[in-house]
Amino acid sequence: MRALFLSVLMCFSTLTMAADANPVVVMETNKGIVTIELWADKAPITVENFLRYTDDGLYDGRIFHRVIPGFMVQGGGFNTEMVEQSSYDSIKNEASAEVPNTRGTLAMARTQVVDSASSQFFINLVDNSFLNHTDETPRGFGYAVFGEVIEGMDVVDMMASVRTGSARGHQDVPSEPIIIISMKRQ
C-alpha cells in the first residue's frame, strides 16, 4: 500500500511540475530552427500575448524585417512583401530591472509609447543594457524581456550575418527574407 501511495505521489508531483514549467516554443525559419523558453513567471502578460499569436498561427509566414549585427534581430510584424500585418491590441510593458536584455533573450519591440508592444519581438545578439528598465519615465522604462533562446542561437547568429538594405521606407531589412515558417508550442 505504501508503495502505491508513493507511486501516486510521484506521478502527481511530476504532473504539478510539468504544469508549472515555462512554455517552450519552436520557431522554424528558412535559416533553421530556434527553440525558445518563455518566462511566464517573469512576464505573464507578454507570454500570454506571444502565445496568442503563436497558437493562432499569426507568426507563420511573417519575417525578421530588421537585422542589426552586434545588436538584435526583429520580427513578427511584416510579411515577405514588407507589408505590416494586423495585430491584436497593444499590451502593458512588463519591463523589469530584474530581467535584463542579455544575449539570447527575447523582448517585445515597441514605439516610444511605453505600452505599445503588440506582435513584434526581437532577439538580443549581445547584452543590450541600454534597453533595460531603469525608471518609470518613457525613456527609462525599457523593453520587456519574456524569454530566451535555449537552442539555435547559432541560427540567430546566422540571421545577423545576412546582407541588409532599405525596403519600403525601412532600414536594415534583409536582402533575402528571413521567414518564420512556423511557430508552435513544443
H helices within 30-75, ranges in order? 44-55
Contact 109, 121 (CB under 8 A): yes
In a domain, 76, yes or no: yes
In a domain, 1, yes or no: no
For residue 104, the enclosing domain spans 22-185
Q: How many domains does the chain have?
A: 1
In a domain, 4, yes or no: no
Q: Are strands 145-151 and 32-38 parallel, antiparallel or unpaired?
A: antiparallel
Q: What is the pLDDT along the chain (186 residues), one digit of tens a residue?
A: 555 444 444 554 444 445 579 999 999 999 999 999 999 999 999 999 999 999 999 999 999 999 999 999 999 999 999 999 999 999 999 999 999 999 999 999 999 999 999 999 999 999 999 999 999 998 899 999 999 999 999 999 999 999 999 999 999 999 999 999 999 999
In a domain, 180, yes or no: yes
In a domain, 17, yes or no: no
In a domain, 65, yes or no: yes
Contact 75, 67 (CB under 8 A): no
In a domain, 125, yes or no: yes
In a domain, 2, yes or no: no
For the domain that residue 50 is a member of, what is the CATH number?
2.40.100.10
